[in-house]
Amino acid sequence: MPSTAVRARGLTKRFGDVVALDGVDLDVSSGQIHGLVGPNGAGKTTLLGLLLGLAVADHGQLEVLGAPAGESLALAGGVAGFVDGPGLYPSLTARQNLSALASLRGRVDGSRDAVDELLGRVGLRDVADDPVRGFSLGMRQRLGLAAALLGEPRLLVLDEPANGLDPAGKRQVHRVLTELADSGVTIILSSHRMDDLTALCDEVSLLSVGRVVFSGPVQKLAAESGELDHRLVTSDPAGARSVAERTPGLRVLTGRRSGSPADDGSLFVRGPQASVEDLVVRLVGAGLVPRELGPVVSQLEAAFLALTGAADEEEDAR
């Protein structure tokens, strides 16, 4: 397997007057879980579709598993996945769905034992003989993952694989994806869930208005957040406000934040992490003990909002 599973240079894709992708570059190493994140309409689904052979780029170059792709609507060998939810037969059972798909693909083990092993892997063995029409969204996502694993792909392309999953289901899917990556399978997934990206991904690419505005390790993206909003609760809100207003680099925010009523004793401040840490030292020095102090949103989400907001403003200016 090549050291680089996916290499894209200058990918551009239009749908009429809409530019879905605008000169996208992407490098994904083999055995890596790479996340695609961005607001609705950013181009994530279009990019996943190119990788799955569902569309062809208007311009640019795309290599998948070491071979040129995008010259025809054909799924590259060793690639599997789904976009906009898995395609399943609602009148068939979970087991029948996988057996039918294995038969259609040919040279894929569709035996009862192989199918049951896949169903067990995604936590659906107990509903193997239930019609898919009665499945929840999360169950259909897990069955779609099992279907994608037929034939043991080397590159797995997944659109919101954790969509609709309860905590147990999410844990199961996370475990499967982590095990696959550990075995050398490359995974590219889109997600709106920052916790999934943090838990799963080695690297992420952040798209906005068809362009990549960030690509790199998750930790580096989190570091891009700069100033964060924090919620502070103490036994003396007035005293805490006085201390916060004298802390260099901090701004005390007014109005309601995060759904909290104005009279619940919450104080919201904005500033870099170093200033927030300085605030804690000053509060303790003033005899005020913080009962609660934490970011309103995660560092990753703050970076997402900051970077996509900047890109949107640039697009408006153009």
Whether residue 231 contacts residue 258, with contact meaning beta carbons closer than 8 Å, is answered with yes
Structure tokens given for 79? 């690639």
- Residue 112: left if φ>0, alpha if ψ -120 to 50, beta else—which one? alpha
Q: What is the tens place of the pLDDT at every residue in 11-50?
A: 999 999 999 999 999 999 999 999 998 888 889 999 999 9
Domains of the chain: 4-223 (3.40.50.300), 228-300 (3.30.70.250)
Q: What is the tens place of the pLDDT at every residue in 148-160?
A: 999 889 999 999 9
| Beta strand spans in 148-287 (E) | 155-159, 186-190, 203-208, 211-217, 228-233, 251-253, 266-271
Q: pTM of this prediction?
A: 0.77
Alpha-carbon span 266 to 247, nearest angstrom: 17
Rounded mean pLDDT of 203-221?
86
Specify the amino acid at residue 180.
L
Q: What is the tens place of the pLDDT at every residue in 100-122?
A: 998 888 767 778 999 999 999 99
Alpha-carbon span 13 to 194, nearest angstrom: 27
The model's confidence at residue 70, banded by pLDDT at 50, 70 and 90, is low
Whether residue 35 contacts residue 201, with contact meaning beta carbons closer than 8 Å, is answered with yes
Of 58, 59, 62, 60, the closest CA to residue 48 belongs to 62
Alpha-carbon span 120 to 17, nearest angstrom: 46
Q: What is the tens place of the pLDDT at every residue in 120-132?
A: 999 999 999 999 9
Asked whether residue 255 carries a pLDDT value surpassing 70, the answer given is no
